[in-house]
Amino acid sequence: MKKFLLLFIVSFIFSETINVPDDYPTIQAGIDASMDGDTVLVAQGDYYENLIIDKSIVLASHAIYDNLDEWVVFDDFMFFQWEINNDNINNTRINGSNPTDPDLGSVIIIAPSSDTCIAPEIVGFTLQGGSGTSVVRETDEGEINVVLGG
Protein backbone atom coordinates (compact mmCIF):
# COMPACT_ATOMS: atom_id res chain seq x y z
CA MET A 1 0.00 0.00 0.00
CA LYS A 2 2.83 2.39 0.82
CA LYS A 3 4.46 1.79 -2.58
CA PHE A 4 1.17 2.53 -4.37
CA LEU A 5 0.66 5.75 -2.42
CA LEU A 6 4.23 6.87 -3.09
CA LEU A 7 3.87 6.12 -6.81
CA PHE A 8 0.59 8.08 -6.95
CA ILE A 9 2.13 11.09 -5.17
CA VAL A 10 5.24 11.07 -7.37
CA SER A 11 3.19 10.80 -10.58
CA PHE A 12 0.91 13.63 -9.42
CA ILE A 13 3.86 15.88 -8.57
CA PHE A 14 5.49 15.36 -11.96
CA SER A 15 2.35 15.55 -14.08
CA GLU A 16 1.94 18.62 -16.22
CA THR A 17 -0.99 20.54 -17.65
CA ILE A 18 -0.56 21.47 -21.30
CA ASN A 19 -2.88 24.25 -22.43
CA VAL A 20 -4.22 24.35 -25.99
CA PRO A 21 -3.92 26.77 -27.74
CA ASP A 22 -1.73 28.73 -25.29
CA ASP A 23 1.14 26.22 -25.06
CA TYR A 24 0.53 24.38 -28.37
CA PRO A 25 -1.60 25.55 -31.30
CA THR A 26 -3.32 22.20 -31.90
CA ILE A 27 -4.69 19.47 -29.69
CA GLN A 28 -2.53 16.86 -31.44
CA ALA A 29 0.61 18.92 -30.78
CA GLY A 30 -0.36 19.04 -27.10
CA ILE A 31 -0.94 15.27 -27.06
CA ASP A 32 2.40 14.66 -28.80
CA ALA A 33 4.21 16.82 -26.21
CA SER A 34 2.49 15.12 -23.25
CA MET A 35 3.68 12.24 -21.14
CA ASP A 36 1.73 9.58 -19.24
CA GLY A 37 -0.20 11.26 -16.42
CA ASP A 38 -0.30 14.71 -18.03
CA THR A 39 -3.45 16.68 -18.77
CA VAL A 40 -4.04 18.31 -22.15
CA LEU A 41 -6.50 21.10 -21.34
CA VAL A 42 -8.31 22.56 -24.35
CA ALA A 43 -9.87 26.04 -24.42
CA GLN A 44 -13.25 26.63 -26.04
CA GLY A 45 -13.18 26.80 -29.83
CA ASP A 46 -13.43 24.77 -33.00
CA TYR A 47 -10.58 22.34 -33.67
CA TYR A 48 -10.47 20.65 -37.08
CA GLU A 49 -8.38 17.62 -36.22
CA ASN A 50 -8.36 13.84 -36.21
CA LEU A 51 -6.58 12.90 -33.00
CA ILE A 52 -4.43 9.91 -32.18
CA ILE A 53 -3.92 9.29 -28.47
CA ASP A 54 -1.08 6.89 -27.73
CA LYS A 55 -0.56 7.32 -23.99
CA SER A 56 -2.41 7.48 -20.68
CA ILE A 57 -3.29 11.15 -20.45
CA VAL A 58 -6.33 13.23 -19.59
CA LEU A 59 -7.69 15.11 -22.60
CA ALA A 60 -10.21 17.63 -21.33
CA SER A 61 -12.03 20.85 -22.01
CA HIS A 62 -12.58 23.31 -19.19
CA ALA A 63 -15.74 21.30 -18.39
CA ILE A 64 -13.42 19.24 -16.18
CA TYR A 65 -13.70 22.09 -13.65
CA ASP A 66 -17.51 22.25 -13.84
CA ASN A 67 -20.13 20.40 -11.84
CA LEU A 68 -21.23 17.81 -14.39
CA ASP A 69 -24.05 16.31 -12.35
CA GLU A 70 -26.58 17.69 -14.85
CA TRP A 71 -24.49 18.05 -18.01
CA VAL A 72 -27.45 16.78 -20.04
CA VAL A 73 -31.10 17.66 -19.49
CA PHE A 74 -34.30 16.50 -21.15
CA ASP A 75 -36.18 19.30 -22.92
CA ASP A 76 -39.79 18.24 -22.53
CA PHE A 77 -41.14 21.71 -23.31
CA MET A 78 -40.35 22.24 -26.98
CA PHE A 79 -38.12 19.61 -28.62
CA PHE A 80 -38.63 16.53 -26.42
CA GLN A 81 -34.99 15.49 -26.61
CA TRP A 82 -31.84 15.38 -24.51
CA GLU A 83 -29.70 18.53 -24.67
CA ILE A 84 -26.20 19.30 -23.45
CA ASN A 85 -26.38 21.69 -20.52
CA ASN A 86 -22.74 22.81 -20.29
CA ASP A 87 -21.14 25.73 -22.15
CA ASN A 88 -17.66 24.19 -22.13
CA ILE A 89 -18.90 20.97 -23.73
CA ASN A 90 -21.07 22.85 -26.25
CA ASN A 91 -18.30 25.28 -27.21
CA THR A 92 -15.24 23.01 -27.31
CA ARG A 93 -15.74 21.17 -30.58
CA ILE A 94 -13.42 18.71 -32.30
CA ASN A 95 -14.40 18.32 -35.94
CA GLY A 96 -12.85 15.37 -37.76
CA SER A 97 -14.39 16.04 -41.17
CA ASN A 98 -11.11 16.64 -43.01
CA PRO A 99 -8.68 13.79 -42.20
CA THR A 100 -5.24 13.77 -43.83
CA ASP A 101 -5.70 10.01 -44.36
CA PRO A 102 -9.25 9.01 -45.40
CA ASP A 103 -8.74 5.58 -43.79
CA LEU A 104 -8.23 7.31 -40.41
CA GLY A 105 -11.38 9.43 -40.31
CA SER A 106 -12.40 8.96 -36.68
CA VAL A 107 -12.34 12.11 -34.58
CA ILE A 108 -10.32 10.31 -31.87
CA ILE A 109 -8.32 7.11 -32.27
CA ILE A 110 -6.82 5.47 -29.19
CA ALA A 111 -3.79 3.55 -30.45
CA PRO A 112 -0.90 2.66 -28.15
CA SER A 113 2.48 2.78 -29.86
CA SER A 114 3.43 -0.58 -28.33
CA ASP A 115 1.74 -3.58 -26.72
CA THR A 116 1.42 -1.57 -23.52
CA CYS A 117 -2.13 -1.05 -22.24
CA ILE A 118 -3.08 2.63 -22.05
CA ALA A 119 -6.02 4.27 -20.29
CA PRO A 120 -6.60 7.82 -21.54
CA GLU A 121 -9.49 9.83 -20.12
CA ILE A 122 -11.47 12.15 -22.41
CA VAL A 123 -13.80 14.71 -20.82
CA GLY A 124 -16.00 17.54 -22.04
CA PHE A 125 -16.05 17.82 -25.83
CA THR A 126 -18.51 17.92 -28.68
CA LEU A 127 -17.22 15.52 -31.34
CA GLN A 128 -18.49 15.89 -34.88
CA GLY A 129 -17.75 15.19 -38.52
CA GLY A 130 -15.81 11.95 -38.22
CA SER A 131 -16.16 9.41 -41.01
CA GLY A 132 -14.73 6.37 -39.21
CA THR A 133 -11.53 4.37 -39.43
CA SER A 134 -10.95 1.47 -41.81
CA VAL A 135 -9.85 -1.73 -40.06
CA VAL A 136 -9.45 -5.37 -41.03
CA ARG A 137 -11.60 -7.89 -39.14
CA GLU A 138 -11.26 -11.67 -39.07
CA THR A 139 -14.48 -13.56 -39.82
CA ASP A 140 -15.33 -17.19 -40.53
CA GLU A 141 -15.13 -16.31 -44.23
CA GLY A 142 -11.72 -14.60 -43.90
CA GLU A 143 -10.58 -11.00 -43.54
CA ILE A 144 -12.97 -8.17 -44.34
CA ASN A 145 -12.51 -4.40 -44.30
CA VAL A 146 -14.96 -2.51 -42.09
CA VAL A 147 -15.26 1.08 -40.98
CA LEU A 148 -15.54 1.66 -37.22
CA GLY A 149 -16.09 4.79 -35.19
CA GLY A 150 -16.75 8.19 -36.51
pLDDT digits (tens, 9 = 90+) for 60-69: 999 999 988 8
Percentage of the chain exceeding pLDDT 90? 67
pLDDT of residue 113: 82
| 11 vs 145 pLDDT, higher one | 145
Q: Report pLDDT for 12.
A: 52
- The phi and psi torsions of 90 (rounded to 5 degrees) equal -60, -35
- Tell me the sheet residues that pair with 139: 142
Specify burial of residue 7 (Cβ count, 10 A radius: 0-12, 13-18, 19+).
exposed
Q: pTM (2 decimals)?
A: 0.82
Rounded to an integer, the average pLDDT of 39-52 is 98
